[in-house]
Chains A and B, each alone.
Chain A
């Protein structure tokens, strides 16, 4: 289930509090500034810095 647009608008990157965008596959939420991807596991975004994936 893709994440709702309105919901995305109120969500912030846990690290910099900036905007986040869904990945093309819809398997995570990306903060370009921090180069971090917050995975979406089973429709549940994991909004924790400790569990974020570093992007190269």
Chain B
């Protein structure tokens, strides 16, 4: 070997100038670069991101490719993008084994399209290559079954655990699977708590990168129980642009702040409407309230989803927009928001790693 032959160090040196814009560090010191193989003038390596839904995946790939191609003597570059989803677990308490991130989708008031966002968020993450599950924790108005196009009763698996149903590659559990669709659920708080416990700990979730929880609107039993039973990685607040909705969104946000569930950000749904006839953008409920509220409260604005009749018909037919029309503006907006959510979780995971360990990894048994 002569000295001007390519070395791994030379490759790592140029890759060390590639920054991850979310984690604000170079991808070499973040440990993203794996399996560097140099064969004559041919260089191949893997870039292992912290989430498959990384919003800057293509941009990073291109930058790695260009920079390594620029090293003298390099004739061919092969970059493979992979991902190992990190665990964001702010409470450090034992949560669900195998589940890396539990993300709640909440809203202060009903009718803002929370379930639609939860479903499409789950499917966007799934489409990026992540393993995803979905809990319909809207005990009183479960809508997942219809919107997701899954029906039936879950079966019991080993150790008396409930096996979730699967729709579009996502594992789902819903009150709708356990109750008659026409009969209302009339329950007091303790039963809601019991059900939330069942939907988390008693379901065979397996290995998941993201478990999305669709919460009922408001600040009640289900929200509180969910925040108590598991250590949630974060919550996204869905709102529409009107002031009324925003007031409630603020309340929801404050509740999760008190429960020390990190606020990943605010999503503005029904943000605008693109007329199918004239392609003109109409801001029916005004626009930008979500962004303003996010700025006011110092949380991230995750993006906006347009009002699109296809979202509604897709939902009613069990064909969510992300699956049904992946190229539509609403689906693209959902993917973008999902990328931001995943990026925020990666940032939280990065911030907590190397920091404090679990507060109480196991219950304390008092010794007398």
* Chains A and B bind each other: no
**A interface residue numbers (CB < 8 A to B):** none
